[in-house]
Amino acid sequence: MKLNRKLHVPLYIQLKDQILAEIKSEKFEIGDVIPSEQEMMKSYQVGRVTVREAINELVKEGLLEKKQGKGTFIRKKDTSIGYEPLISLSYFLNLRCWDHHNEVLRKEIVTMNQDQKEASKIESSKILILDRNRFIDTHPLGLEVFYFHEAFIALSKDADLNLSIGKLLLETLKLPVEKMVQEVIVVKASDREAALLKLAPGGDLMYMKRWLYIRGYEGVFQYYEFKVPVGVSAFPTEFL
């Protein structure tokens, strides 16, 4: 297969369109690995840079997903946009091809106290609390806390909660989002938060709160808090 070098269309765009056509065909299924860079270079008679630019475009659009040491996989077969860009920080970090990971600080099932009930608006008596520190490479990005409805405990018993929660809710569990409410304020970092984020105590943090409603469940299904240092240039502002 050859690309048309006489067209006034960049080769990587032509290659992207070719790959997209194959993704949408019956040749591949979601979860399949696509041919390697070397195989594409040989098949389309183009250089490595062209192949990487084409693949990166499809990664940005959410159709492909790179897994280090394993290859590039088909994530979905269409370009429709769902709730994931609105509720998943991992979505934006992957979009920028940044190396990121989480450190779980706390994972515990508790009976809610009054303060937790008022903050979360969750109507179950017990909740799962997940407390994580997010990193880009080795640099702390922000602190996040999830409160999950009691029903989530059974639904997620085999899930790896160190991975993307948005992807777990929407793709793995296929939970239908009914509504999302969000607010953002600026607060001062506590001593603990400053230590985890490597900040001076009392530094400014952007503090996001989000209440996620799932169809079929009364009240809030997931309450989420995220704190990131004000002025962190790497933080995807679209997420807010």
Q: Are residues 62 and 178 in the same domain?
A: no
Residue 132 to residue 212: CA distance in whole angstroms: 18
**Percent with pLDDT over 70 in the chain:** 90
Q: Report the largest interatomic distance among the alpha carbons of the chain, rounded to a whole angstrom.
A: 69
Residue 130 to residue 105: CA distance in whole angstroms: 8
CATH of the domain at 38: 1.10.10.10
Q: Are residues 20 and 94 in the same domain?
A: no
Model confidence at 93: pLDDT above 90: no
Q: Tell me which residue range forms the domain holding 117.
A: 84-239
Structure tokens at 35: 């041919």
Q: CA angle at residue 82 from 104 to 140, to 5 degrees?
A: 25
Model confidence at 92: pLDDT above 90: no
Q: Are residues 36 and 135 in the same domain?
A: no
CATH of the domain at 211: 3.40.1410.10
3-state secondary structure of 18: helix
3-state secondary structure of 56: helix
**What's the structural domain count of the chain?**
2
Q: Are residues 117 and 15 in the same domain?
A: no
Structure tokens at 197: 């984020």
Structure tokens at 193: 């938060």
Structure tokens at 121: 């608006």
> Where a domain ends, among 74, 101, 124?
74
Residues belonging to the chain: 240
Mean pLDDT of 76-105: 73
Model confidence at 1: pLDDT above 80: no
Q: Are residues 140 and 232 in the same domain?
A: yes
Model confidence at 154: pLDDT above 50: yes
* Tens digits of residue pLDDT in 32-88: 999 999 999 999 999 999 999 999 888 887 789 999 889 999 987 665 545 665 678
Q: Which of 231, 127, 145, 128 has its CA nearest to residue 196?
A: 145
